[in-house]
Amino acid sequence: MIPLAQPDIGETEIQYVTDVLRSGTLSMGRYVDAFEAAVARRTGNRFAIAVSSGTAGLQTVLAAWNLGPGDEVVTTPFSFVASANVILLQGAQPVFVDIEPETYNLDPDRIEAAITPRTKAILPVDVFGHPAALEQIREVASRHGLRVLEDACESLGSTLGGRPTGHPAFCDAAVFAFYPNKQITTGEGGLIVTSDEALAETCRSLRNQGRGRDGEWLHHVRLGFNFRMDELSAAVGVAQLERLDAILAAREAVAAHYTRRLQDLPGVRPPAVRPGVRLAWFVYVVLLDRGIDRDRVAKSLSDQGVPTRPYFAPIHLQPYYRSRFGWRPGAFPVTEDIGSRTLALPFFTRMAPEQVDYVADALARAINSAS
Ligand SMILES: *Cc1c(COP(=O)(O)O)cnc(C)c1O
């Protein structure tokens, strides 16, 4: 049985975690500091704030901007649900805009039509690690005086025009996530990057129960969360980050092998990578031709010991969104079309070429039986 995803944990991770356990400092110590400094440097930012999850990071930035009832945020319906949920959790309104069929990212040409006097920010998502049209989005945002929060939870290590996702040229703040299926993991964890000093300070305070700048323990200057990342998680993150380039190279090799095997398979489109993009591979998601029954393909693969996942089910059609907002199929046709045909195949850093071959052969058999 091949897993759908699997973290790549080495001896250094174990050594650093042991170091934390022996040190007695399990929270707010040197591993969190080191992890933050390393990601800030890597993404060209002045500040980084490690938090307990990617979702917590996104919510912290929206809270720091004081987003609330009456405010709107333009975002994509083709994403993991958290990128829209955080807007609702702040009491603001997600305004969905359909996606580009090639990269599955927010279509920059449709954004302007969605902007109203209530719009406060744009929240693009780097879907499956592929950078959104960040330059164009930034330009639309500046023209309308809007902030950009980049959901880079799937794109640590990706670059666009030579710049890393999360770079201050692209956004006011970005958030990375480290759940075990991401490029690198901390168990649970996330991290905010920004070069805006005031925003960084507010996020630090919000993460830490609204404590003031001096961190005095029983002095709370604003309404805050406990979204701190613990030292054990950060220790894993520091070790993972030391190997990030090797991890990305290994994932790229797995993806390249998949693409070699699948590019001539009728009915299947491998992921597209735009010119100017270096993709830090998060998942390997194929697009099936219309007319192929995805459920049957998935069932056949499952019968052959290959797990898959239909990434993503559109957010606006999730039961909660349907019942709260009355969304129906047809609202975002590109998102719904792509969402009905994509299938994530097993993909992880240490996936062996023979495992990729096995999945590719199994997929060919599955397509034959389902078309
Ligand atoms: C993983 C992910 C998140 C949230 O990360 P968690 O750490 O699981 O909270 C948010 N947005 C996207 C697009 C993600 O893939």
Q: What is the pLDDT of residues 82-97, one digit of tens each?
A: 999 999 999 999 999 9
Question: What pLDDT is attached to residue 56?
Answer: 98
The yes-or-no verdict on residue 34 having pLDDT over 90 is: yes
Among the atoms of ligand 1, which is closest to the Cα of residue 53? 7
Under a CB-based contact definition with an 8 Å cutoff, are residues 332 and 318 in contact?
Answer: no
Question: What pLDDT is attached to residue 118?
Answer: 98
Question: What pLDDT is attached to residue 227?
Answer: 98
C-alpha separations of 204 from 61, 231, 308, 341 in Å: 10, 16, 38, 41
Q: What is the pLDDT of residues 289-315, one digit of tens each?
A: 999 999 999 999 999 999 999 999 999
Question: How far does the centroid of ligand 1 lie from the alpha carbon of residue 2, in Å?
Answer: 23
Among the atoms of ligand 1, which is closest to the Cα of residue 189? 7
Task: Check pocket membership of 185 for ligand 1, CB cut-off 6 A.
Answer: no
Among the atoms of ligand 1, which is closest to the Cα of residue 181? 1
Among the atoms of ligand 1, which is closest to the Cα of residue 126? 13
Average pLDDT over every residue of 229-238: 98
pTM of the predicted model as reported, rounded to 2 decimal places: 0.98
Task: Check pocket membership of 79 for ligand 1, CB cut-off 6 A.
Answer: yes
Question: What pLDDT is attached to residue 322?
Answer: 97
Under a CB-based contact definition with an 8 Å cutoff, are residues 2 and 354 in contact?
Answer: no
The yes-or-no verdict on residue 35 having pLDDT over 90 is: yes
138, 147, 167, 182: the catalytic one is 182
Distance (Å, whole) CA 357 – CA 187: 29
The pair of structure tokens assigned to 27 is 């929270």
C-alpha separations of 65 from 30, 90, 172, 201 in Å: 28, 10, 11, 12
Under a CB-based contact definition with an 8 Å cutoff, are residues 58 and 203 in contact?
Answer: no
Question: How far does the centroid of ligand 1 lie from the alpha carbon of residue 177, in Å?
Answer: 6
Question: How far does the centroid of ligand 1 lie from the alpha carbon of residue 53, in Å?
Answer: 8
Ligand 1, atom 6, residue with closest C-alpha:
54
Q: What is the pLDDT of residues 175-208, one digit of tens each?
A: 999 999 999 999 999 999 999 999 999 999 999 9
Average pLDDT over every residue of 249-257: 98
pLDDT tier, 49 (very low <50, low <70, confident <90, very high otherwise) = very high
Question: How far does the centroid of ligand 1 lie from the alpha carbon of residue 336, in Å?
Answer: 20
- The fraction of the chain above a pLDDT of 70, given in percent, is 100
Q: Does an H or E element contain 118, and which? A: none
Under a CB-based contact definition with an 8 Å cutoff, are residues 138 and 113 in contact?
Answer: no
Average pLDDT over every residue of 220-225: 95
C-alpha separations of 292 from 275, 296, 371 in Å: 29, 8, 5
Whether 299 is catalytic is no
Q: What is the pLDDT of residues 138-174, one digit of tens each?
A: 999 999 999 999 999 999 999 999 999 999 999 999 9
- The fraction of the chain above a pLDDT of 90, given in percent, is 97
Task: Check pocket membership of 83 for ligand 1, CB cut-off 6 A.
Answer: yes
For residues 217 and 200, the model is more confident at: 200
Question: What pLDDT is attached to residue 198?
Answer: 98
Q: Does an H or E element contain 352, and which? A: none
Preceding omega of 80 cis (within 30 degrees of 0) = no
Average pLDDT over every residue of 216-226: 92
Task: Check pocket membership of 78 for ligand 1, CB cut-off 6 A.
Answer: no
Q: What is the pLDDT of residues 310-335, one digit of tens each?
A: 999 999 999 999 999 999 999 999 99
Question: How far does the centroid of ligand 1 lie from the alpha carbon of residue 168, in Å?
Answer: 20
**How is residue 181 annotated by DSSP?**
T
Mean pLDDT, rounded, of the chain: 97
Q: What is the pLDDT of residues 343-360, one digit of tens each?
A: 999 999 999 999 999 999
Task: Check pocket membership of 233 for ligand 1, CB cut-off 6 A.
Answer: no
The yes-or-no verdict on residue 371 having pLDDT over 80 is: no
